[in-house]
Structure formats: structure tokens, C-alpha cells
Structure 1
Amino acid sequence: MSTRVLRPFLSAVVLGASVLLAGCQSWLADGSSVHPTKGNVKLKGLADNVWVRRNALGMPLIESRNFHDALFSLGYLHAADRLSQMIGMRLVAEGRLAEMVGPAALELDHFMRALQLREQGNALYKNASPRIKTFFEVYARGVNAYIYRYQDRMPADLKLSGHKPAYWKPEDSALLFALVNQALAANLQEEIATLVLAQKVGADNLAWLTPIYPDEDLPFAEADKLKGLNLSASKADLTALNANLRPLQQLASLGIAASNNWAVAPSHSRGGKAMLANDTHLPISMPSLWNYVHIRAPQYQAAGVSLAGIPAIVAGFNGKLAWGMTMVMGDNQDLFLEQLENRAGRLHYKRGERWLPARERRETFFIKGERPQRVTFYHTEHGPLLNPALGQHKHMLQPQGLKLGYGIALKSAAADQEALRDDRTLDAFFELSRAQSVDQAAEHVRDIRGMALNLLYADENNIAWQVTGRYPYRKAGRGLIPSPAWNGDYDWEGYADTLLHPYEQNPAQGWLGTANHRTVQPGYGVQLSASWYYPERAERIGELLDNRRSHDLASFKAMHYDQKSLFVAKVQQQWQDSHFAPRLKKAIDTLPAEQRSAAQQARRKLQGFDGQLRAESSQAALWGAFLQQAAEQIFLDELGPKNSASWQAFVLSNDVSYSAVADHLLGREDSPFWNNTNTASQEDKPAILAQSLASAWQFMQLQQGANSALWQWGKLHTYHFQTDGSQLAPHMSALEQAGMKSLQGLFDRGPYPAGGDHTTLNVSAWHWGDSFDTWLIPAMRLIVDFNQAEPMQALNSTGQSGDPASPHYDDGIHAWQKGQYQSFPFQSKNLDAVYGQERLLLMPEK
């Protein structure tokens, strides 16, 4: 599932950062912020004793005599391990990050406040059952017990920021759930990117930059919606919004295409019982979004990944049922362009021939080190205008009657208050974790309307797949590109019935698998999306599952670490095509001598490449360089320069769904983008690819020397586990960047050599068109093999703790790199071998 939402934003940088650094080092030395793993702790709110043991990587086992105390302890331990993460996530979701880090986060706060996630979270909580509300309340009391006890011993990052966290409320957990849901909305930033790109190339050429899938026609009809519109009227707003997308992608996982899952039926398992695997792909970070937990209480047992701040196991195993998830890439929100006018001091928007007053909402922003700001947000029938998040409020100083250009309104299923009245998503997730069979789980998963997921679940005899979420019916259009709002031609008309959501159980092929790809054929009765991710990961899952009839634990682990890209063979096949190959050779032969030699060597080396993107591979290094050069050779002349809003929008669109670069490499010979507008000649596809091959070879020579046998992909392409502060440093002032640099040694880890790319099962995606730095990884891995005495094995990408003072801050990185899975035993006799006998006793304080 994609679901990464945010880690703590560690950019609380002030004057005198070096002094703070020295102080931070002393805090790390005394370890006062690290919670003990043994001894006794008395806590108000517990009904009975609770025992906590931890495995070698610090992942906790909670053993309690009642479920109430298990939830309380989960809240307490989440705070002990990841309080900074929880506070950072809450501040981002509320649009209050500037209170902790100052004006650098203000524009992001404006954007998040425009989304009104707090309102969405409150609605989810309000409509939950009394039982779920009680669970959230008990969990919150556990979090607050830790905050109260450790208020003077906060982790180093919170000390540095000077931020004093408020106590946790039950609604805060629902707020984080809403933030996760927003992160699944892959199409939002793609729609924004299309507006930026349309300004650069026009609506006529936009479809070439927004392909849907390799076998689908380009969306010319969709792009026609923008014809005749004066997009330049909103150019400043669009440029500002586009500039904020990259840091927002980092902070809130906005539009992250994430995750693989697959399962095999007993007929395809060596031991005769079902198996399930999941790995969720999230931006590389320190720490990972996820942390593992194992709960043993009367009438409730489960182990798996959790998100600190939410009392739930997101993917895992309960002794009878295993479940995992990926993003559907569901398009359940649309951008609408609104005609706006300032009339008699009020903002109005056009509906037909009428002008209606926009609903106003005032928000106060408190900013560390500065005076508060008051901002007015506006709403139309299609939802909140995002323009106030871009400085639109400044236009209210303009003369009465001045046209403000187009507003950008966001229509979202997640914010539909009427639909939320009947939403039972929170209850359904809990019931899923308690289900004892596939049939029992099926009764609940359709009630997960608040998230668009490919939910895969299995018991020892059965496997099943269910698409969850809420998908709108549109009067017209596909929602891929923003729609004019004033005539109502593209409005929504309700949502698809859950009975129409794709579902399958025990298919004849013997397996199920999803990887954010198009899971239904064009024309399916429910439009799930027009923003599918690249198909190669899903194709590789199918290939590996079909290649052997009998799978086992070893084959599933090998799939998790598989680094073969099927995209390589697709490009090679085109180069060998009897029609294309001689044209490519001719184009290479017409290059100047030095470039001709480079292109010939590059082609020979890549023609023999097996597609294994290993870190030590010289061919993989050249392949990566070729992909990067191809993106620039095809599109930079029309969309550049590299620091422009249009090029950055293009790079972001490559990240979130099937891209124009891949589409052009596999076909589209009639595209206007093959011609290089900077030359007097008329280039075609062979000419551009010949130049890309030559440039890739020359690039690698400059980067790693003349001996191509010594080139390595992992020297170009690395894992660098960084905090949000480090990753967002380029968006800060020079002073703040210097402060962050002085702190990186404490918080960041790496770089380490990386293999793979966005098309490999072992994902290690880089920003195609920008840099080779890994930005997306399998943040966790999980396997449940019902043939084993203890079915569940899993690992995390970093450590259990978010506190650099903890020995479990970074110890998971090595295990993640080497595939050293941890066992999660459910039989009492096996607990000591994994969790040891050292216990922390949580006792009720009388």
C-alpha cells in the first residue's frame, strides 16, 4: 500500500546550530530519552499488569490480560519508540508545522489547511462505532501516559525544536488515518502537473505527456478540456503549487505509487498450504514510517506493521488470517477550474450564467519566531480552493471587480461529508484483523470505503483479493486532467456500488498479485483510475509465480529481493525490430566520430544486458545513464530548463504513474517531441536514441572512468536514509541548510550502494529526469507461509526507534539489506527463543 505519511520534520534549525549540536551530543550520550526495556513502570490507566519483551531488533511483544491494557500499552510504546514521528505527522496533517519549524513550513501548512484533514478525521471518528471510539480513547491515554512521564526527557529532535507536544486526543488517530488516505491520492499532483505542462506545450500536445497505459490510446479527448482556456491567468499560482509538490511528496507521501503483494493457493505451495507476501514502498527515510508490534491478549492476537499514532495493525497475521495491501492508484478526487470574480468585496464563482458567493473560512497560523497570520480560505460546490494555499489571499487587496483568473478547486471522495456519514472504515479494519478465515474477512473488507486499496488476504486454504475505496461516477471525462467547473459538464453523480469493486478468490491460475498496475481492462464498469503505475513489477510477479509450480519461503524471499527489470527486454526488442534496427544503426553511423564510437559501444553493451539491475553491475550503470539521457534528449528542449516549473512537473509525473518517457521509448514514433527544437534539422526517434546512447556512454566515462568493466550502478545509485529535515534542506534558507548539515551526522545514515529501479520488485526508484538518488524503497517486507510452524516472518527498513539515542535507531538497516527476516511466533513455547526472557513490567498505579 503505499501508505507512508510522514516522519518527524527535523528541521528545527536556529542560529547557533553548532551549540545545539554539542548539546544534542550530550543528550545522546546519557540516553535519558530512551525508554528502558526491563524493570517496573507504574502507569495510571492500566487495569492489570502488562509484560513487554523485545526481539533482537527492538520490536515489542505486548502480553496483557485484557484488550484494554493491550491498547493502552500500544499507545505508550508507540510514543516511547516514535513520539517525534507522531507529533510531526499530526502537525503536518493539521497544517501547523510552522509552529515547530518556523516560516519555512508555512506554505505547506497553507496547503494542508486547505485540505481540511482535521474535518475528515473528525467525521471518521464521529461515525465510528462506540467500541472503536473506546479503543481510540484508551490508546490516547497510553500515549499521554508516556508524554506526561517523559515530558522532560524528549528525544533530541524535539528538544532541538523547542516544541512542547500537546497531549494526544482520540481524534488525532483518525486525523492520521485521513492523512494516510490523502497520501493514496496519486492523481492530485499529476493533475496539477498537467496544468503546468499545458502552459508550456499547449493543450494540443499535452496528451503526449500524459499517457495512460502502453496499450491505451493517448488521452486527446481529455486534454481537449483545456482548449480555449487562458491558463496563463493562473500561472503564478500553478508555479507556486508545483514548487511545493516535491517537499509535500516527502512530508505526506503525496501520490506515492507504492507496494507489491502476492499470494499463492495451496496448489502452488510446496507444503500444500497458502502463502502471502507484502512489501510497502515508501520514500526512503530515517526512520521508516512503519514499526512492528506483536500483541497477545485474551481473544485478540496479531502481529504486523503499525503506524505510530493509529491503534491498528495495518498488514500482518493473527494466527489464522494474513493480510497485506497495495495502492489501487484510485482516482477518487478531481481538480476543477473555477471562474472567479471579486464582487462587492466578496469572492464569487461562476455556475452557468450565475455568479455565486464562495463560502469563506478564516484560519490563524502561528509561526515560530514570527507574528501569527490570518488567511481566508474559500469553498465552491466542488470543494476548497487551493489558491489560498498559493497566496491567493493577497489578491483581496486588488480593486473591486478585478478578475482573479481561475480558481483550483479540489473535489475529493474523502472529504464528502454526506458519504462519510455511513463510513465504517475504522470498524472494518479492526474486524479484518480479528477475522479467522478468508470468508469472515470478506464480510468486512467491502466496508473499507475510506481507502483505495488492493487488499490481499489468505488463510491456510484460501487466497482472495478485494478492491476497497469509493469511486465516483463522472458525467464526462476521466478525471486525468483538471476540468472546467462552470457548466457542470464534468460533475460527479454518486459512487460505484461496492458490489462492482473487483474481487477474486482462489483463481484457477493459483495465485493473486498486485503492484499498483491496471488490474482491470479498459471499459470496466467502475473507473478505478487513469493513473496506473508502470506494469513491469506486476508482470514480474506473474512471471516468477508462473515459472515454478511449487513455491516456498525461499522463493518468496527471492522475489522480495529480485532486481530484474522487464523494461530492459522491451526496449531491447524494439532495437532489434527488423524495421527499427537498421534505422537506429544508420542514425548512429551518421553521428560525429567520437559520439559514433560511444553510441556503438553503448549499444553493444546494452544489447547483451540481462536486465539484472545489481548494484555491482556495469551494464546496469550504463542502462540507468541511458534512461536519464533519453529523458533529457527527448523532452528537455521543450520542457526545460531543469530548474523550471515545467521540467519539475514532468519529473513528478514520471514518479507517480506510467510516464511519457517510458511510453516514448516503447513506441510513439509520430510524437512531436522527437524533434529537437534547438537544432535546424528535423530529428526522429532513431536520431534521438542514437544521441542518448552516445551521451550515456560519455556520461559514465566522466563519472566512473574510461574502463567500462569497472562501472557500477551502486556508485551512481545509492540508498541514503535521511530525516525529513535533511531531505527538505534544499527548500530552506541558506542558514537553515547550514544548520541541517551540522546535524546530519546524528540523524542520517548512508549512503549505501543500491540496485534496482522503479520497475523491479525490489524497488529502488529514482527521480527519472532529475537525479539517481533512491527515493522510493520497500519500507517493510512481510511473508506469511502457512506451511511453517511459525508462519510470519518480516523486517523493517530502519530501526524500531525514531530516537538516535536508541540502539534500535538504525540496526534494522543491515537486516533489511541482507534479508535477515525476524520471526513472529504465535506458539507460547517459541516466544523465549525470539523475545528472550528480559521483560519490562507495566503496572497499574493505584
Structure 2
Amino acid sequence: NAAYDLEHLSAPVTVFRDSLGIPHIYAENEEDLYRTVGYVMAQDRLWQMDLLRRITTGRLSEVLDPGLVEVDLLYRALEFTKKSRKVIAQTDPDILRGMEAYTDGINQYINRNLKKLPFEFTMLGYKPDPWELEHSFNLVGYMAWDLSSGWYTDMDLYKIQQAVSDTLFSELLPDMKFQGIPVFPEYMSSDNTLELESGMSAAIEIIDELGLQVFEASNNWAVSGEKSETGMPIMANDMHLSLNAPGIWYQMHQVIEGKLNVTGVALPAAPYIVAGHNEDIGWGMTNVTVDDLDFYLETINPADSNQYLLDGQWQDMRIVKEVIQVKGAEEPVVRFNRFTHRGPVVSEFKGVSDKVISARWQGNEMSNEIRSLYLLNRAGNWEEFRDAVKSFTSVSQNIVYADRNGNIGLQTCAGVPIRHSGGILVYPGDTSLYDWQGVVPFEELPNSYNPECGYVSSANNKTVDEDYPYYIGTWFPLPWRIGRIREMLDEKEVFGTEDFKRMLRDQHSHFAMYMTPLYLDALQDYASGEYQSAYEVLAEWDYDMQASSSAALIFEIMFMELNRAMFEDELGDDYRQLAYNDIAKNLIEKTRVTGQSLWCDNVNTPDVTESFHDNIRTAFQQSMDTLTSMYGPEVKSWEWGQLHKVALMHPMGTVPIVEKLFKVNRGPYSIGGSSHTVCPYGYPKGSSFIANHVASERHIFHTADWDRSLTVIPTGISGIPASPHYLDQTKLYLNNQFHRDHFSREAVESNYLYKAVFE
């Protein structure tokens, strides 16, 4: 409750903060609005904003750890800033004026608070540099890179391909018919050419360890007025991203009376609402899982290692000298990034010194997501919505839509490369034959508008079926979440708020529903004596992954051990890199359907040819031994939540003195669910069961009355541990509860806790 002197305002701006500290900002024009947005966001999230800036500019080593040089070099090779400057030069001046005002608001906060910065700056011994316009544009590249699954999956494939025979390796490549339910049943994908891609590196593994990865899952759906208790569309969205404290999203409400009224979640360091609603439409996002990355094996000139062969001619690589300042070092680290006409040479990051591999990635191509978000915040109908999102091509999304005129829709927004051949392979770099031929035109991307079934939905599943004329991708999550969502949408004729709440918290597993009968069949004559109780628990299970379920615990451990049984003999400890990712899941699903795989045979027992059932029995026995040693022999007393937990960790929370002084972490808390349930609590590869992949926000939007809309995030609005709003939504979130997303002026003024006036 204060008055602030904010320079360059043309009129007063009022900021109401509700009981959770969420700002509702009322201004008279765009520049005043976004200048205040910048100041307010910096109040709450300045160090997080600076961390994101340092990631995207490759400057983590300066303030965190000398071991981050590889990460810095990787992000510099991605050249976010270079692209951002090109995008800025082509962005509408009206949009830039608002972005410049936002930048000014951040800098005003920094300049006024250099002596009372968030504790992280003090602990690390530095002060933030002035904010620049390009730092906000760089966030687009960061999200695009982290949502590009090829950077991760391809590294695993590359390692596996080095270790096994071509026959075994070919079995890992998915047959698209096992991918099941498409997002758009009316569209059909033709190219099933599946070969090898290469992958990234140690730098990616470091990013995982830092908790800086994002992941690529999400759910969204909307029902028409005919299927809604209000007679108007209702929409739901939960984007599944990495879990940290503070969280990835910043909740806010922005108003210019008579011109703009939009609420939802924004990224710290950018002013626009990414998922939310205005007075006319609501929207939410899921990742398309586009194959937006290709690798090329280059032929290098023996006389000049900085030249590569292309169509019979030696071409000079572009060489960029990188000077990386390192905390505590007397001298900077000097390295060089090399680039072909397609993109960066990435083999340096993979430790493959005898090969030179370059990458072409859609995130380096021209796009303008900032334009898209600006227009999306203002769109009033389906046509304006589609015009807004057509430049959303680096961060590929399926965007769900609902409006106050009773319409629902779903639009794929993606830069889908047009290739000579589709699939997952390392192309020969000495020919331009395999260079991309542009991207699929927006008008040919899948979309659905007011379908006869009365709903639209997506969950990162296969986008189209077999007859669609373009190759979109390969590594789609299997259709367990989308299958369950559509099952629930088909169960009732009419839906309301409580139905959507139930759906968002649903932990019934279609994956378990399909796999468990196979387990039981394999174990029917095997699980006797001390194993009989576990068999009975599985046989009686309803496939709900609730925290109190002993069957859920057995199922998850068995799947981990099934991965071990199938892959460890060929891959050794590297099998953990395969466990739980889409490569393993696709192979196991293929094996479930066909009943056989060469991976089932243990190479260490040459006189025996093991079957899939043999692998299941091995997994069961190992699971029983492990769980009995951990929790005792009483199977029915075991609980999934004893092992499966969630913790909210600050990036500096592993430093004991930081946690002791500032209490930056929370948890762990026992939870249910898994990566294959609609309510997701996914955990990393290997043996850790601490969830780090969750619903980063939950929204239920009512087009009939926006004030009835509900939302929640796992953390809180503030990034300052001493704030009462640091993690004040965590309890709501873990209990699958929501808070109102106040929208009308009357609702906002009836529910505010603090009021500030900026003049």
C-alpha cells in the first residue's frame, strides 16, 4: 500500500494485489502499462530474470561455477541474441514501444534498489547489469530450445547406436502405427522413413543437473456450449514443465480501460500473457513435439579444418571467438564456435572429436513469437486468433481456443521443416540435397474449429495420422494421457467446473491399464508363495496412481526393472539414459503389441533365448526384492507416496548455508501420479523418484463468466523467500485446489489486499 514515483508515465497507474500477491495493473495506455509491468515483475522476480538472461547469453560462468563454461558455450552457439536483434529490426514499432517501456520499468527498479537487491546477488557477489530489449526477445529461443525434444532424445540414440548392432538399433525406431490416437483425427502423416539422428552433449547433462531443463508435455481441452453446464464453452490447460522455486510462470492481469483486458501467466522477463484469456477469447498451449532439428556429418578439408565440402566446393566456416569470464579465474576462457551455412558445429559439445557434425534447428530460423503474443492478448475471434499465432513458429504449440460467441478450436502453430526425406538421421553434409526447403505453410497446418464431437483436446500425442502430406515428427509421447482425457470427455454429456477439476487431478493410468494385464499373464504361474500377495494387489488394482496405492508402487518399480532387464545387458549403466524416455516406451509398447523383441534376449545367457514374459518375471522378482528390503514384507502396507515425492528447489538450494539462512526449498511431499497420468508428476531417468516434471499451472476458463475462472501454480508470485507470497500456492496446488482468477473491475476491487499507485 504505497505510492511510487515511476518516471516517464503519462498518467497514474493503479496496481491491485490480491490475497496471493497477484498484480492487477490498470493503466490508460500501452506504454504506461508495460513500464509498470516491468517494474512490478522486477519487484517479484529480479534474480530469476537475471538468471534467465545469463542462460540465454551464455554468461552463467561469471557468477555461478567454472563448470558451466560448456553450458555457456552451447548457449552462445545457439545465437539467441543474434536472432533477437533481427526480429527486433522487423517488429512493428507499436509493439517495440511497449517492449521498450517494459525494459525501462525493469531498469528503473534495478537503479533504485542496487543497495537492497535480492539475497542471491549478495551471496554470489554481483549486481545486475541494465536490462536490454534483446534480453526479453531471447526468452523465445530459450523456450524453443528446451521444448525441442530432439536435443535430448538424439543424444540417447547416438550413444545407443555406438553400443549395439544395427538390427537391435533398428528395433528402437518407432513404427508410427503404435503411436495411437492423433490430435487431429481428420488429418493424416505419410513419411515413415526412420533412420539415425545424432545428439548433443555433456552441456545438456549439466543443464539437467542445474534444474534448468523445461520438458515438453502438457494437456489442453475445451468443450462447446452444448457440452457445458453454462451453455458456453469451458476450457482447461495445464502446461507440464520443470519444477523449481520460484516457478517458471508469473501470474498477472493487465488492463487498459476500453482497449485491453487480459489475464493469465507470463514468463519472467517478458511482458505478455502466454496462456490466459481476454474479454473475448481464452487460449492454452501444449507442445506439438515437432522434429525441428537435423544433424549433418560434414566433410572437412584435410588442408584447412575450418572448411567443409558442399556440392563439390570447399566452403569457409564462420568462426566466432567466445571470451567467457569465469568466476574466480584470473583469465577468461577463450573458445571458438564454428558454423556452417546450416548452423553451429555441435560435435564439440558431444565429445566426438573424430567427426564434425553441424545442426540445423528451427529455433534459429526467423519467427516472431513476441508479435504473436502481443496480438494474441488482443484477439477477439477465431480469425484474429489465427492471424496472431501464424508467426508462432520457433516454439511449436497446439493452441486450444474458446470464445464468448460459443466457438471452440485447436490450431497447430509450428515451423515444420520441409525435407527431402523425413525421419531421424544424420544427413551427409557435403550436399545441399538435404537442406530444408522452407516450412509447411500456416494454412496447411492442422486445425479444428467447432468439431461435431463438441470438444477439442491435445496432450503432445501424435499430431496427425498416416495420410498427412508432411512429416511432423517421430518421438511423440504415447497416447496414455490423451486417451484418458478423451475417455473422460466421452463419459458425460454436460461438463462443469467440478468435472474439469476432477479431470485435472485425475491419476488413472491408461498405461497401467494396458500393461498390467500383460504383467499378470506373465506372472500367473510364477507369482506364488511370498510373491502371491503382490500378484493379488496388481490383479485387484483399478489403475489409479494415488499416493496411497501399493499397486502403483509395484507397477512403477516393475517398469523400471523391465527397462533394466531389456536394456542393461547390451548398454550397461547407460541403460538408465534410456529408461522412461520415449525411446524405451515406444519399444516396450511395440513389444507389448507384437509380443516379441530382440531386446528381450539376454546376451549374457547365450544358451537361452529369453522372451518378453521372461523379462517381466525378472523385473517382478527384482522389484519384490527391492521393495521388501525397503518397506518390509507386508505388501499391502506399501504406498507409492512413500517413494514418489515432490520437492520445490531453489537453484541455489543445494548450498547448505543458503537453505539454512533463507529457507528457499520446500518438501519433499508425498504424491501420486506419474508421467503417464493426466495429473502428471514425472521424475527423472535413473533411480530418483523425486518429481521434477509437473503441471506448471492449471487453468479452468469460463467464457460465460470470466470471474468464475480458476487457476493455481505450484509456487507463488514472488521469487523472494522472505515474502509471504514465495510459495503460498503450494498447499493449494498439492491438494488439487484452485483460487479465483478475478477479472472484472468489481471482482478485483472486492478482493484486493494491497493497492499501489504509480505516478
For normalisation by structure 1, the TM-score amounts to 0.84
The aligned residue for residue 7 of structure 1 is: none
Among 131, 136, 140, the alignment partner of 1:177 is: 140
C-alpha distance in 1 between matches for 2:441 and 2:357: 29
> Do 2:71 and 2:203's aligned partners in 1 also have CA atoms closer than 8 Å?
yes
Counterpart check, 1:307 vs 2:267: yes
The superposition leaves residues 752-776 of structure 1 with CA deviations (integer Å, 9 ceiling, x where unpaired) of 0011001111100123543222120
2:87 aligned partner, one-letter code: L
Aligned with 2:699 (options 782, 805, 809): 782
Paired residue for 1:125, among 69, 85, 88?
Answer: 88
Shift of 1:666: 2.1
Shift of 1:465: 0.7
Q: Which residue of structure 2 lines up, in the alignment, with residue 3 of structure 1?
A: none
Kept in 1: contact 2:697–2:713 (CA 8 A): yes
Pick one of 571, 575, 597 that aligns with 1:639.
571
1:88 is aligned to: 51
Question: CA shift at 1:412, angstroms?
Answer: 1.4
Distance between the aligned counterparts of 1:622 and 1:754, measured in 2? Answer: 15
Q: How far, CA to CA, are the matches of 1:510 and 1:827 in structure 2?
A: 28
What percentage of residue pairs aligned between the two structures are identical?
26
d(CA) in 2 for partners of 1:468, 1:246: 29
Residue of structure 1 equivalent to 2:183: none
Matched, 1:819 2:736: yes
Q: Deviations over 1:315-345 (max 9, x none)?
A: 111122111111001112212222335524x
Cα distance in 1 between the residues matched to 2:736 and 2:156 = 37
Structure 2 Cα separation of the partners of residues 540 and 282 of structure 1: 20
1:841 aligned onto 2:741: no
Q: Is the 8 A contact 1:195 1:482 kept in 2?
A: no
**Contact (CA 8 Å) 2:297, 2:428: kept in 1 or not?**
yes
Correspondence for 1:475 among 392, 412, 420: 420
Which residue identity is paired with 1:150? N
1:599 touches 1:691 (CA, 8 Å); kept in 2?
no
* Alignment RMSD: 2.5
The answer to whether the 8 A contact 2:564-2:575 is kept is no
Distance in 2 (CA, whole Å) between partners of 1:827 and 1:220 is 49
Q: Which position in structure 2 is the counterpart of 1:41?
A: 4
Residue number among 398, 412, 428 corresponding to 2:372 in the alignment: 428
Residue in 2 that maps onto 1:701: 628
Tell me the residue number matched to 1:679.
605
Q: For 1:476, what is the secondary structure of its paired residue?
A: coil
Summarize deviations over 1:682-729 as a string: whole Å, max 9, x none. 211111101111222222111212111211111100001112344xx6
Instruction: Measure how far apart 1:180 and its partner are.
Output: 1.4
* 1:325 maps onto 2:281 in alignment: no
Corresponding residue for residue 157 of structure 2? 194
Q: Distance in 2 between matches of 1:755 and 1:252?
A: 21
Per-residue CA deviations over 1:203-227 (Å, capped at 9, x if unaligned) read: 332232342546269x99856568x
Report whether the alignment pairs 1:262 with 2:207. no
Q: CA deviation at 1:665?
A: 5.7
- Aligned-pair distance for 1:526? 2.5
Q: Distance in 1 between matches of 2:734 and 2:455?
A: 27
1:499 aligns with 2:416: no
Q: SS where residue 667 of structure 1 aligns?
A: helix
Q: Deviations over 1:151-206 (max 9, x none)?
A: 11111112111121111111111011221122221122212221111011143322
Q: 1:771 to 1:598 in 2, by over 3 A?
A: farther
Shift of 1:278: 0.6
Question: Structure 1 residue 440 and structure 2 residue 367: aligned?
Answer: no
Pick from 706, 709, 713: which aligns with 1:796? 713
CA distance in structure 2 between the aligned counterparts of 1:250 and 1:493, rounded to whole angstroms: 37
CA distance in 2, matches of 1:540, 1:301: 34
Structure 1 residue corresponding to 2:539, chosen from 607, 615, 618: 607
Aligned to 2:409: 464
- Aligned pairs for 1:739-758 within 5 A: 746-758=663-675
Contact 2:321–2:334 (Cα < 8 Å) also in 1: yes
Residue of structure 2 in register with 1:715 after alignment: 642
Alpha-carbon offset, residue 122 of structure 1: 1.7
CA–CA distance in structure 2, aligned partners of residues 151 and 566 of structure 1 = 53
Residue matched to 1:17: none
Deviation (angstroms), 1:102: 2.8
Q: Deviations over 1:340-378 (max 9, x none)?
A: 35524x422233554433221111111111111221111
What SS does the corresponding residue of 1:636 show, helix, strand or coil? helix
- Does the alignment pair 1:351 with 2:310? yes
Q: Structure 2 CA distance, aligned partners of 1:252 and 1:194?
A: 22
Return the alpha-carbon distance in structure 1 between the equivalents of residues 502 and 110 of structure 2. 42
Amino acid at match of 2:72: D
CA distance in 1 between partners of 2:59 and 2:582 (Å): 26
C-alpha contact 2:222 2:456 (8 A) present in aligned 1: yes
Q: What amino acid sits opposite 1:369 in the alignment?
A: G
- Counterparts of 1:265 and 1:81 in 2: how far apart (Å)? 37
User: What amino acid is the match of 1:472?
Assistant: P
Cα deviation, 1:723-746, whole Å, max 9, x if unaligned, reads: 2344xx6xxxxxxx6667x65972
**Structure 2: runs of 5+ lacking an equivalent:** 181-189
Deviates further, 508-517 or 680-689: 680-689
Give the drift of 1:486: 2.4
- Count of matched residue positions in the alignment of Structure 1 and Structure 2: 746
Give the distance between the partners of 2:532 and 2:557, measured in 1 at CA: 15
**For 1:110 and 1:556, how far apart are their aligned partners in 2?**
44
- The CA distance in 2 between the partners of 1:62 and 1:718, in whole Å, is 37
Identify the match of residue 412 of structure 1 among 344, 361, 364.
Answer: 361
Corresponding residue for residue 511 of structure 1: 455
**3-state DSSP of counterpart to 1:301:** strand
Equivalence for 1:72: 35
Moved more, 363-372 or 425-434: 425-434
Q: Which amino acid aligns with 2:420?
A: K
Do the aligned residues in 2 keep the contact of 1:280 with 1:779 (CA within 8 Å)? yes
Distance 2:529 2:428 in 1: 51
Worse overlay, 625-634 or 668-677: 668-677
Q: Which runs of 5+ in 1 are unaligned?
A: 1-37, 232-237, 393-403, 590-595, 730-736
Question: Which of 340, 345, 366 pairs up with 1:385?
Answer: 345
Residue aligning to 1:533: 477
Query: 1:584 Cα shift?
Result: 4.9
What does residue 294 of structure 1 align with?
253
User: Residue 355 of structure 2: SS of its match in structure 1?
Assistant: strand
- Is the Cα–Cα contact under 8 Å of residues 306 and 314 in structure 1 kept in the other structure? yes
Distance (whole Å) between structure 2 residues aligned to residue 286 and residue 120 of structure 1: 29
1:335 — aligned with what?
295
Structure (1 or 2) with the greater helix fraction: 1
Letter in 1 for 2:758: L
SS at match of 2:481: helix
Distance 1:565 1:320 in 2: 35
Match of 1:771 in 2: 688
1:678 Cα deviation (Å)? 2.6
Kept after mapping to 1: 8 A contact 2:241/2:695: yes
The 2-side partners of 1:724 and 1:207 are apart by 39
For 1:113, which of 56, 61, 76 is the aligned residue?
76
Alignment counterpart, residue 558 of structure 2, candidates 626, 633, 636: 626
Structure-2 residue corresponding to 1:566: 510
C-alpha spacing 1:516/1:225, structure 2 compared with 1 (3 Å):
closer
Secondary structure (helix, strand or coil) at the match of 2:82 reads helix
Distance, in Å, in 2 between the alignment partners of 1:140 and 1:56 is: 27
Distance, in Å, in 1 between the alignment partners of 2:430 and 2:4 is 62
**TM-score, length of structure 2 as denominator length:** 0.93
d(CA) in 2 for partners of 1:798, 1:184: 21
Shift, 1:778, TM fit = 0.3
